[in-house]
Each structure stands twice: as C-alpha cells, then as structure tokens.
Chains A and B, each alone.
Chain A
Amino acid sequence: MAQLPNTKSMGGVARQGMRRLPLNATILAPLVALILLFVVSSIASEYFLNTRNISNVLRQVSYTGIIAIGMTFVIIAGGIDLSVGSMVALVGVIILYIINTISDPIQAVLLGMLAAIAAGGLLGLFNGLLVTRGRIAAFVVTLASMSIFRSLALYFTDAAEVSTRNPLFSNVGGGFFLGIPIPVLVFFGLAILAHILLFHTPYGRHVCAVGANAQVARYSGIRVERIVLSTFVIAGICVGLSAIMLTSRLNSVSPSDAGYFYELDAIAAVVIGGTALSGGRGTVWGTVIGALILGIINNMLNLTGVSPYLQGLVKGGVILLAVLLQYKRA
C-alpha cells in the first residue's frame, strides 16, 4: 500500500521532467510526422537527399519559419496576427527605399537592416496597442492592418516592383556561412533564442500564463496588457528579419506579391507544431518542425512533379494528417 503513492509520484516527476524538456506527446507527434515525411520523400524522389536540395528546402522554409517563431509567441499569449504577410511587403519596400537612397553601399545595407527591425517592431507595436489599449480582438485588428500594410506598400511604389543595384545587399540573404545559407542560420539561431526566452525566463512563463487564463494571470500580478503587447512586437521584429532575408535573396521586392499568404503558412506551421490555437501552451521547436514539414511537402510535390491542380489537395491532406496524429496521441 505504501508503494502505490510512491510510484505515482515518481511517474509525476518523470512526466514533469518531460514537460520541462518539452518532449511530450505534442512535440513527439509532429517529430514523428516529420521523420515519416522525410523517409517518404527520400523514396519518392532520388533528388530529395541531394545536399543542394536540402539546403534549398531549408532556405525556402526559413522566411516563413522566422515569422512562425514570432507567431508562436502571439498565439501562445492567446492572440493571432494575420498582418505578417502584408508587413513583409511593407517592410521590404522600406528596406529597398533606404538602400536605394544612401550612396555608400555598406552604410546603406546596415541602415536598411536596422530600419527593417525598427519598422517591424513599430508595426507590431501598432497592432499590439490596438489590441491592448483599443480593446479590439486581435483577429479584427490584424485583419484590418493586413489590408492597411499591403495598401501602403502598393501606394509607396505605385504597385511596381522595386529592385536595387547595391552590390552587397544580395549577399545577406543569398550568401552562405560555413556552407549553410544565411537565412537558415538566422532561422535556427532565432529558434534557439526564442526557445530560451519561452522556457527559461519568467517572461516566457508569463506569456503562457496570460494565454492559459488572462484573468488568473492578472490576479497573480502579471501585467497582462504589457505581455500581450510585447508578443506583437516580437512578431513584428521577426517579420523585419524575414523581410531582410527575403528581399536580399531576391534583390528586389514586389509590393503586391511579397509575403503573399505568409500569415497562413506561419499559422499552419505553429498549429502543426502542436501549439494550441486557443493559447496557453506551445513550443518553439514544434513550430520549427511544423515549418519544416510544410517546406518538405512543397519541395516533394515539385520534385515529383505532381499535377499542379492536385498539389493543394496533397498539401492540405498532410496538414490535416499531422494535426490528427497529434490529437490522437495527446
């Protein structure tokens, strides 16, 4: 009789340990899905495991992946940000405007990148203030700002694509360090930072608490408004980073096209990664895996040459499958 409660508490400790390591079912399920997809893809196409292909996939994933990391914070805190795609276009236009105005190439690139982070942060602040001070639902605020940001990007450029002749800029997103594309390094570096922020700081615990139950969090002395506001600023800064990587890789920006549907890819990555859309719990690693799953699906469909009409069906099916797998285990 005395042993029973003992084993129970042992299990409890073990389970708690798992939760701290974030290696519970919600993260294992997407990981299993990723491995499965990886194996299927290697069999389906002889080109899949090609080093250059892997490097391409990682780079293709990193633009939406960086945004999805920011989105993870917003969603865990109980919000949503639909404006990130349009924000990429607007920030991209701002970067290229600055780079094309300043004549010294090094100064131009540095200031352009700084401005991108600042602009992303400010646009995120705009969203966050409307949600917290304006007391409007995040869905509505960012639905409106999605339209506003895209419209401003179109207005500043007369809907025309902007490109640059700056000789250095394309080395940022198009460059490699130790054989790895720079956007990929930024993506993984950011993921590690975000993971630490979310799981090993009081701030991260507050984000989860606010998303789980804002009222209780408020009674526990957490400044709920400030936390919610900060998640939108984080999302904006991530958009700024993504815009730097994307516009420099392409050496141009198209205001009507840049970041098109990125919000949906980012949300899909977060959800596949096991973060609850209702907020309160989630992991950064899950989001990274979710983004990788989406990227590998796209890549595999292109490599195997599946009919363009059917690609959407396969993509949607795999997303549903990944999420179903997760709920069965959880």
Chain B
Amino acid sequence: MTLSRLFKTAALATALASASSVALADDYHIGVTVPSADHGWTAGLLWWAQNAANELSEKYPDVSFTVLSANSGTAQVSNVEDLMIRNLDALVILPHNPATLQAVITEAYDEGIYTVVVDRELETPAQDVFIAGDNPGLGEQAARYIADELGGEGNILVLEGPPIPINSQRVDAFNRVMENYPGINILASQTTDWNPQQALSVTEDLLGSNPEVDAIWAGDDDVLVAALQAINENNRDDIQLIVGGGGSQRVIEMIREDHPMVKGTVTYPPNMIASAMALAVHGVKGEHLGDMYHGVPSRIILAADLITADNVEEFYEPEAAY
C-alpha cells in the first residue's frame, strides 16, 4: 500500500465516521469498548465487534454503533467518558480490568444508559446485563473429552494461563473431572501466560523431562499452536491428542482437515461481544428475545461447546480474526 493510499484510507475513514455520527442523531446510539488487539483472542474480539456493528446497523437502521478499543484500563476509562458525551443510549463494555472501570461504568449506568458488561464481572454490579463464557465448563469439557479419547488411561501435560481467576476456574474444573479417572496421570501443569513464545519454551522443557506423553491440554488455542510446533521440532510421535480452548479459526481449520493430533477444542467465543451488542439492541428498545415471556435476562452464561470433527462446520468462519 502506498503512503498516499494509506492517507486516503485514513481520511475516508474519518469522513465516513463523522458522517455516520451526524446522520443518526435521534435514534439509538450504542457505544462499544474492548481491550485492544494485543493477542489472538482480543484480536478476534475487535473483529467480531466491528463485524456485528456492520451487520446489526444494517439490519436495524435506527441503531448506530461506535466501536473503540483501549490498550489499558485507564485508556478505557477515557473511552467511556468520550462515548458518554455522544448521547449514548447503550454501552457494551468488556472491561480491561473491572476495578479500574468500576467508577466510570457506575456513572454511565446511573445516568440511565443501558449497560451490558461482558466477560469480566464488576465487584459491585452496575449493569443491566452481564454476559460471559463458561470458564469451569471449558475445563470440564476438555477433561471429559481427553479422558474418553484416551480410554481413561494415559499421561497428560497441562499448559495453564496466567495466575488469574479465569485460569484457576478452568484448571480447577479440569482437575475435578480428572479425579474420576484414576488411570489418568497429570505429569505437569505449568503456566504459559497464554503467550505463544512462552508456551513454545515451556512445552520444549516439559517434553524434554517427560519421555512418555499421551495427550496435552492447552487452555488457549494460540498456546496449542505453539505446543504443536514444539512437538514437531522434537519429532515426538508418542503424543496422540492435543486439545485447546477458545475456538480459534486456525485450530478449527486443523480439526476440519483431520489433523492427526489436534482433534478437539472447547469454545470460549470472542463473538460473545457480538451477542452482547445484539442484547443491547433489544434491551435498549425494551424488546423480548424471540418468544421469551420476559425482557432481556440480567445474566447470560454462554455454553462451552466441544468442537470435534462431528460439528466443526457449525463453527467455521474463515473470515474471522480468531
């Protein structure tokens, strides 16, 4: 892309954005803010948010969206403040860190803005709807699948995330299920911070110290891809199965193409932001969802779905960023 074309694109984007904000003054304006795309899952989040903004505003012409991202919690506070200036009707937010955002989300909610909090729960609730994925479910589904595939016997490695509550919910649930299978032996459970580089070196070390491994559970699909590289580089043919978490398109493609080791992953879908935006559309208008007898529920937990070769087509979205 030449520089002048880049500038033209930037100018066009500015012009389009300002045009859309002028055109729809008296209708529903929904502000969306998410953490910026610093790893696979958050890149997916932003992609889905922008995708949903296009699709939903096309379907409901009286609704307009502004999608912002922030590289820190304090930057996200400014995002919310700036959105509130623009006569916001609804706010959809995946908070960078809940305590930092608590004060400003409470301000928005108290002003009567329809507030949807996604994925990370506030200590003092200040929202109309909370929507999140099922972290314990992710661990349980992965554990059951691995145990079934191995016939209840085998050695496994666990690649954990950073030491945060979300990770412990997943790993604790995984371990609870595995207690029912005395034949399964968890050789090691190590943190990777959900970072591919770190996952690569951790897996190399673990493979070096454990000569007999039957299966690996990676709590995140980017970690799975890194672990796979370590396995291939070390020419290990003892490993039969790797199961991920999240549901990235890259891993879904591997499952689709009958990869010899990557046979399953469990969803923790970044498109939860898209569902949250849809909830905001109906919630702010006071509509019901489908045939429900009640308004939009105040708390929604999305199922953790196991993706295998049997149902992979349902989750295949080649355009998505994650």
Contact = CB atoms under 8 A, between A and B. Distances in A.
Interface of A: 44-47, 50, 52-53, 56, 60, 63, 158-159, 161-163, 170, 174, 246, 249-254, 256-261, 298-299, 302-308, 310, 313-314, 317
Contacts of B69: 308
Contacts of A256: 97
Given A257-B74, A260-B74, A305-B67, A56 B85 contact: yes
Contacts of B9: 310
A158 B37 CA distance: 25
Closest 3 CB pairs between A and B? A161-B99, A302-B82, A252-B99
B203 interface: no
B237 interface: no
B78 interface: yes
A298 B78 contact: yes
Given A161-B98, A302-B68, A254 B73 contact: yes
B68 A305 contact: yes
A305 B103 CA distance: 23
B103 A250 contact: yes
Nearest to A258: B74
B17 A305 contact: yes
Given A50-B85, A174-B103, A246-B74, A304 B123 contact: no
Contacts of B36: 308
B96 A257 contact: yes
B81 interface: yes
Given A159-B163, A260-B71, A306-B17, A254 B78 contact: no
Contacts of B22: 46
Contact of A299 (B18, B21, B82, B100): B82
A305 B71 contact: no
B317 to A, nearest CB: 19
A11 to B, nearest CB: 41
Given A163-B99, A250-B74, A257-B73, A53 B85 contact: yes
Given A47-B86, A53-B85, A56-B82, A304 B17 contact: yes
Given A170-B103, A306-B13, A257 B21 contact: no
A317 B13 CA distance: 15
